Amino acid sequence: MPRPRRSEHTRESLIEHGIELLSEHGYHGTGLKLILDTVKVPKGSFYNYFDSKEQFAAEIIEAYTATLMAQFERYLETSNDDPLTMIRKVYETMIKQFEAQGCHKGCLIGNMAAEIGGSSERCRTVMQETLEIWKRRIVELLELGQKKKQIRSDLGASELADVFWNTWEGGILRMKIDGNAASLRRSLDILLDYFLREPAG
């Protein structure tokens, strides 16, 4: 019996809804039935598009990253702000999105890393690649800020980016515990106004 023809639209819909479902319920809390019912794909058709749930999750991580980075790039291409202001506006936008979702979804990458980062080599590899994509772009901004004497230069831009990422992801976890973004927003302010900024004088 010939294999059913795959629809690219259906594949994209599975990934799009998968991002929402995994953000809401996590990897283990999102069963294939829920995914297929949401997209209204017949039972058993999932494997026409993905060889496993693990591959599905890996492609979701890639799609989620591509969307975020595209938004980031669109802003950078049209902005005349200084590097620290650019970073602040991008991350403040994310905080507002978290608040609109009730502060319980957080960052899909962070959520997935906590849930399956130690058990899925395939997804862990994709998450490492995702982090490198983000880091390369943020390092460029930090280096620009260092050249402009706006961002501290006693530490390398790569080191600053790592501290920024680690603090941000920890702040998201705290947000999910508190049910509000007050602590996350305060952490962002500390990073941008004190930790990253070149001391006056």
The CATH number for 165's domain is 1.10.357.10
- Residue 87 lies inside a defined structural domain of this protein: yes
Q: What's the number of domains the chain is made of?
A: 1
pLDDT of 2 reads: 42
pLDDT of 200 reads: 76
pLDDT of 4 reads: 47
pLDDT of 201 reads: 62
For 90, the domain range is 53-195
- Residue 17 lies inside a defined structural domain of this protein: no
By the 8 A CB rule, do 60 and 19 touch?
yes
pLDDT of 6 reads: 59
pLDDT of 7 reads: 75
- Residue 44 lies inside a defined structural domain of this protein: no
Residue 190 amino acid letter:
I
Q: Taking the alpha carbons of 158, 163, 164, 170 in that order, is the dihedral positive or negative?
A: positive
- Residue 39 lies inside a defined structural domain of this protein: no
For residue 41, the SS3 value is coil
Q: Would you put residue 197 in left (φ > 0), alpha (ψ -120 to 50) or beta? A: beta
pLDDT of 176 reads: 92
For residue 82, the SS3 value is coil
By the 8 A CB rule, do 56 and 142 touch?
no
- Residue 64 lies inside a defined structural domain of this protein: yes
Per residue in 136-173, pLDDT tens?
A: 999 999 999 999 999 999 999 999 999 999 999 999 99
- Residue 10 lies inside a defined structural domain of this protein: no
pLDDT of 3 reads: 45
Question: Which one-letter DSSP state was computed for residue 197?
Answer: B
- Residue 28 lies inside a defined structural domain of this protein: no
Spans of the chain, pLDDT less than 50: 1-4
